[in-house]
Structure 1
Amino acid sequence: QLKVCIEEVSKRGNDGEGSNGRGRGPRYGPNANYTAKPLKLDFSRFNRKEDPTSWVCRAEQFFRFHATPAVEQVSTATFHLEDDAQWWFQVLMQETPNATWEEFKSGIYATYGLHQFLDYFRELTKLKQQGTIQAYQTQFNKLLAKVGYLPPDRQVSCFISRLSDTVRTEVQANCPTNLSTAISLTRLYEAKNQS
């Protein structure tokens, strides 16, 4: 069956038909007819109904993907503000006409975020596994994203310390050095305990 597939691909190449079937001429190398399709990434809108942390994270992903220069980040983001957020931005521009992305983020967090009311690190350290590892991991990651940078050993410590007793002991015994390893071990032991 593999031989048939190879022959079919070879035949298409010899007929001048590319891998996409559009007849773009003969091949000159393994990827000669491959053209990456332009990726359309949407820049989501912000209208204060969601936590600005997620919106800012998606905006920064957009900026990295498109290599948006720092001087264009604020103006790009502001095209995607709606309702009250647009009014807020107009006031920001009156106060700080050349606001940097960091100043913009600080302003949007202060105005629309819950940061001034919540201590996310405290929430993270109080989080306790009560259901599945998946549910705990999801909640942990949400809070960790809002806390900001924590060294890997602190991430592991926070994650493990609030696991159920049986799983926590087994995971600690393996001394994971990063969060991914701790999560993998946790899932492994959860599956073992369920079988």
Structure 2
Amino acid sequence: MGKLIYMNKKEEGITKRMAEGVNASGLKKGIDFTVVSFVVLDNEFASHSLGGFLGRDSVKLFKNVIGGYRAFAESLVANKEIEAVFETPYPKIEHPVFYKLNEEIDIDLATEIGLGVVLYNGEYMIYNPSNTGNPMDAIAEMFALKVYFQLKHPEEVDEKLKNSFSKFEDMIMTKMIANGKKHINILKNIFKSV
């Protein structure tokens, strides 16, 4: 329950941006942690991160919120033309993992590319909402984390992601829930520039 997971502390790739992994087994949603990544479905059925829909940064939106994140998110879009607002799904698997990063998490970017964000012990952490427990989900999770860091740090090209991008572009795109074409084009431009 909330136990730290050992991570190889290499100073390369995504591990240099991760502080630690937390085994979330036994933690209860709404009691031990709160999901703070929200998806807004507009009246044309296009999906957006909460901040993306509002044109604001979710980290800043939630700065002074203490509990009731879902109700707060719903209140922000109450008078807007939307179909729904919902939390990113939380996986019902035996051993979910939260990733604590060495930098501020961009909740909206994480949400748009298919990751989720929780508030646990007063800190934002990333998780994989599409994890079903299938071992292949680990590959998709790794790609999502690599894409997240590449989009946040375009000046530092992840050569392994660059070299495998054309092969896995479709899989990466299918995991994105908002602005997929935009994010894929940004990645292509990053990789083209080197």
Q: Tell me if both proteins adopt one fold, taking TM over 0.5 as the criterion.
A: no
The structure with the largest helix share of the pair is 1
TM-score bracket for this pair, using the shorter chain length? under 0.3
TM-score, normalised by the number of residues in structure 1? 0.25
Q: Higher RCO, 1 or 2 (CA under 8 Å, sep at least 6)?
A: 2
TM-score, normalised by the number of residues in structure 2? 0.25
